Chain A
Amino acid sequence: MTEANGAAAVPGENFTRVPFALFSDPATFARERDALFRGPTWNYLGLAVEIPNPGDYLLGYVGDVQVVVNRTPAGGIAAFENSCAHRGAQLVRRTRGNAAQHAHTCPYHQWRFDTAGALLSVPQEHGVKGKGGMPVDFDKRRHGLRTLRVETYKGLIFGTFAPEVPSLYDYLGPKIRPEIDRIFDRPVVVLGHWRQAIPANWKLYLENVKDPYHASLLHLYHTTFGIYRATMSGRVIMDDTCGHSVLRTADIGENPTEMKALYKDIDKYRPDYKLKDPSLFDTKPDYDDRVTNMIMTVFPNLMLGQVASTFQTRHVRPKGVDSFELYWTYLGFASDDAAAREGRLRQANFVGPAGYISLEDGEAGRLVQRGTHGLNDRASVVEMGGHGAIADQDTLATEVAVRGFWKRYHELMRAAV
């Protein structure tokens, strides 16, 4: 099932066994760059509201490759690798800004590009004092920046390097789009960004957010205070490829006695625990569906999340085989009044690098990276929810979406060999 050679390690037994080598093998990491991030996937680049004006730009990532995302003079969005067409220097150095005269100039030899990536000018193209310069057959039209195909859905910007990938609309599909519609049907505002440098393979974060089983056990803070309990009604759904998923939790149909029985052996669970200042829970729900917790993932590495009254995108940016940046974009709604806005800032205490819930997911990544290190002959056991068909389930006691991730991952990795 597993192989000593990590590069050849593949998930086995109907995706219930995940070789530890997949989290530490450098050859696997290199192949992911081509098979996943440059492969037939749409990669999250940012939000349209972050670059509202012509000339605005932000830096995004496709895998570990930096890209520049631009608002063009015509109001469209264009993206290119942040790597000069001349000798590859990093072109744009700030994480966001506005390009003067709608152009980016490379700091090294001052080649100049427009916001769609076309090469505008090359200093000394025709030499100096009649000597040197580019050869006569040098054609600026053939030396633009390498661009991505860009599409948006409800203000989320995605890019792809693959010519054959279907439209973003179809890529998301009918089971994922409604979750985006639910949140992005009103104008959003960006309240801030957070970054976490997590010492773990990027896929461990994907496993984490596709695993509702851990949420009521690792995160005792939100279990105790009712944001999330194993007894809440929950549902795990996946798209046809099983690569995208939605985990939703709603506080309906609960029975407190059942809760006591479920947690009888867990010391960390403290029903007697009371907050000295519970005012951060005083927010009005944003929807009447009683959903307290939702986490959606778009394959390969975007999350859209709701925890109580907080809404965020989380982008997993690989930085090497054993580390990634978790890049959060914390959202509010343009329609928020002062109290709603203050409530969202208060509930930042739940999520982000120091959030009572989210900080533990960083630790979970570190624990598994540390714990699997050097054990290339072992694999994890992913059987919660059964080892049969990978299909939607009406329970939170399941790891089925983790298996779905590995199924899609394996399909793309295998196809690229």
Chain B
Amino acid sequence: MNDRAKAAPTPAGSLNSDPALGADMRTAIERFLIEYARCLDEDRLEAWPDFFLADACYQVLSRENVEHGLPAPIIYHYSRGMIEDRVTSLRDALTYEPVYTRHMVSNVYVVGVEAGVYRVTSNYAVYHTTVEGRTDLYSVGRYDDAIVVRDGQLKFKTRTVIADTFAIKNNMALPL
């Protein structure tokens, strides 16, 4: 028996080298992913919902559950309204540790485009830094995204975060 942890499925085929995608679109997608990370790292939570369509779905899944085919999500916000509700809760209701966050996004990979929906995967590493300046690696994993162009702007139709760090460091108040 191969005893190594089963790798999460990596989609085959890439448009990265396909001239049909166009260098401009590749650049735009990368820029969009970086803008998302900057928005969270600069604590502009109120702008976070703007990255999503009205009927978008933002999910965080545990890699352990994904590999075992179990559906329970860690976060399951299936509308932009729910994404906005998380922002309000984070600002006004929830008690959680104040930290600085730092998102590193890499290995951006455009898997394909169909009917105007770009399938994109990327890796992330998110660090948390306490109010006393101590930094820990909070979570690593992967984004699986469906991105569309709406009124000249890129938006997430779905953003699924699959956390390799499925033993969540304390809790997950802030989005990844």
A196 touches B167 (CB 8 A): yes
Q: Do B64 and A275 have beta carbons less than 8 Å apart? A: no
Whether a CB of chain B sits under 8 angstroms from the CB of A417 is no
**Size class of A's contact patch?**
35 or more
* Identity of the chain A residue whose Cβ is nearest the Cβ of B175 in the assembled complex: A354
In angstroms, Cα B60 to Cα A221, docked, is 20
Q: Contacts of A191 on B, CB cut-off 8 Å?
A: 70-72
The distance in angstroms between the C-alpha atoms of A95 and B60, with both chains bound, is 21
Nearest chain B CB to A192 CB, angstrom units:
3
- Whole-angstrom distance between the alpha carbons of A270 and B70 in the complex? 36
Residue pair B167, A363 in contact (C-beta under 8 Å): no
Contact assessment for B65 and A277 in the assembled complex, using a CB-CB cutoff below 8 Å: no
Tell whether, in the assembled complex, residue B88 and residue A345 are in contact, meaning their CB atoms are under 8 Å apart: no
What 0/1 pattern do residues 138 to 176 of B give for CB contact below 8 A with A?
A: 000000000000000000000000000011111111000
Q: Are B170 and A273 in contact (CB under 8 A)?
A: no
Distance of A270 Cα from B92 Cα, bound (Å): 9
Determine whether the beta carbon of B172 is less than 8 Å from that of A353.
yes
Query: Complex Cα distance A197/B136, Å?
Result: 13
B76 engages A349 (CB within 8 Å): yes
Q: Is A366 an interface residue when CB atoms closer than 8 A count as contact?
A: yes
Name the B residues within 8 Å of A220 (CB-CB): 93-94
Q: Distance (Å) between the CB of A356 and the closest chain B CB?
A: 6
Asked whether B96 lies within 8 Å of A197 as measured between CB atoms, the reply is no
Tell me if B75 counts as interface (CB < 8 A to partner A): yes
Does A93 lie within 8 Å of B3, measured CB to CB?
Answer: yes
Interface-facing stretch out of B15-23, B37-45, B77-85, B118-126: B77-85
Task: Determine how close the nearest CB of chain A comes to the CB of B76; give it in whole angstroms.
Answer: 6
Residue in B64, B72, B94 whose CB lies within 8 Å of A348:
B72
Q: Using a Cβ–Cβ cut-off of 8 Å, how many residues does chain B contribute to the interface with A?
A: 37
Report the minimal beta-carbon distance from A354 to chain B, rounded to whole angstroms. 4
Q: Are A192 and B79 in contact (CB under 8 A)?
A: no
With a cutoff of 8 Å between Cβ atoms, the chain A residues found around residue B78 in the complex are 346
User: Assuming A359-B94, A362-B171, is B84 touching A345 (CB within 8 A)?
Assistant: no
A356 closest partner in B (C-beta): B89
* Residue pair B95, A218 in contact (C-beta under 8 Å): yes
Contacting pair A197 B97 (CB below 8 A): no
Q: Which of B76-115 contact A (CB under 8 A)?
A: 76-79, 81-82, 84-85, 88-89, 92-97
Q: Does B11 touch A at the CB level, under 8 Å?
A: no
Pair B94/A280 contact, Cβ less than 8 Å: no
Q: Given the complex, which residues of B lie within 8 Å of A330, measured CB to CB?
A: 72
Tell me if A194 counts as interface (CB < 8 A to partner B): yes
Verify B76–A360 contact, CB threshold 8 A.
Answer: no
Per the 8 Å Cβ criterion, residues 202-225 of A in contact with B are 218, 220-221, 224
Whether the pair A194, B62 counts as a contact (CB closer than 8 A) is yes
Query: Per-position contact with B for A174-193: 1 when CB-CB < 8 Å, else 0?
Result: 00000000000000001111
Q: Mark B45-58, 1 if CB is under 8 A from A, else 0.
A: 00000000000000
**A362 and B94 form a contact (CB under 8 A):** no
One of A268, A354, A363 near B74 (C-beta < 8 A): A354
Q: Does A6 contact B (CB under 8 A)?
A: no
Q: In residues 339-374 of chain A, which contact B (Cβ within 8 Å)? A: 345-346, 348-349, 352-354, 356, 358-360, 362-366
Of the candidates B79, B84, B93, the one having the most CB atoms from chain A within 10 angstroms of its own CB is: B93
Does B12 sit within 8 A of A, measured CB to CB?
A: no
A198 at the interface (CB under 8 A from B): yes
Contact B76 A345, beta carbon cutoff 8 Å: yes
- A residues whose Cβ falls under 8 Å from a Cβ of B: 93-96, 100, 190-199, 218, 220-221, 224, 268, 270, 273, 275-277, 279-280, 325, 330, 345-346, 348-349, 352-354, 356, 358-360, 362-366
B interface, CB within 8 angstroms of A:
1, 3, 60, 62, 64-65, 68, 70-79, 81-82, 84-85, 88-89, 92-97, 166-173
